[in-house]
Amino acid sequence: MSYWGKKYVLGGEFIIVKILAVLPDFIPTEPVKQMVSQVLPDMAVVSSLDFEKNEAEVLVATTFHRLGRKELSKFPNLKYIQIASTGYDNVDLEYVKEKGIMLCNIPVANKQSVAEHVIAFILAFLKDLIFLNSELKERHNWPILTGSRDLEGKVVGIIGMGAIGREVARRLLPFGVSMIYHDVTRLEEEEEERMGLTYVELDELISSSDIVTVHVPLTERTKGMFNSNVFSKMKDGAIFINTARGEIVDEKALIDAVKKKGIRAGIDVYPNEPPDFTSELFRLDNVICSPHIAGVTIESQQRFLMETVSNVMRYVQGLEPLYRVLV
């Protein structure tokens, strides 16, 4: 059921490694097997963890399967988990630490895809595209004037300056915007200058930005960080974009901010997915929604697959894998 690979260890000895990949059921397993057959010819690929026990030492998974204590305990020999995604909040980090399991993610494969999605949100709002499309197609109206605005000269606040945050900044630079950012770790001054970034405290970013885009992981610290108090400090009519994790935002507080302050929100992630479609969020004109797909393009999925396979091969060959998560 699992791929039997050879791992090189000190002293020139080879040991056997078993690998199992679990994919969401909407991804056909056979095409994936064929794509990786040359490097991992017998790797087992399944779509469910509905079994009692598996002898795999390497587990490849996405964020679509919960890897809690119950699920991970089915793998008594597990030594390495490769998450084929930027996020890994589906993994029980306490269990991983307790068992000494190595955990790696792929934080770079979709950075350009998410960054482009963020810019698409921004331009859709600034250029009034939803309203104009509706006027022509639904009302057969021909507006002479609109509230369309230029991106140039706007203040963009980026919260979280990891791989995706940096990619957003890099792609926004040619638009002539002013970019401020906040992160728990400040960049080196030379890098700030090169990227056109100015570091500010979070409160200043929230109150000064015309556009706020969030790129932080979901942690106990960031859960619910965008509450009514934070939204109250934003400029009226500012643009708020969340392509990170839904739990970072208090949905009720966001709805109130859209209604009372004219906040325009581009939302790609939700606390529960699929979300509760009866929520008022989906009836607000100033909100554009997408189905947690910002980082999902044909190109990004190819990069994820290549990076994932490459990292697993590094481990199997006795090399230190990339993007290790410190737990």
- Which residues have a catalytic role annotated? 245, 273, 292
Q: What is d(CA 90, CA 67) in angstroms, rounded to the nearest whole number? A: 6
Cis peptide preceding 274, ω within 30 of 0? yes
Kindly list the distances between the CA atom of residue 271 and the CA atoms of 2, 168, 174, 192, 246, in Å, as whole numbers in the listed order.
Answer: 34, 23, 34, 33, 4
For residues 209 and 155, the answer to whether their CB atoms sit within 8 Å is yes
The H-assigned helical ranges of the chain are 29-36, 69-72, 93-99, 111-126, 129-137, 163-172, 189-195, 202-208, 228-232, 251-261, 298-316
Q: How far is CA 78 from the centre of its chain?
A: 26
For residues 55 and 49, the answer to whether their CB atoms sit within 8 Å is no
SS3 125: helix
DSSP-derived secondary structure for 221-270: TTTT-B-HHHHHTSPTT-EEEE-S-GGGB-HHHHHHHHHHH--EEEE---
For residues 249 and 237, the answer to whether their CB atoms sit within 8 Å is no
Residue with tokens 């739990």: 247
SS3 37: coil
For residues 54 and 33, the answer to whether their CB atoms sit within 8 Å is no
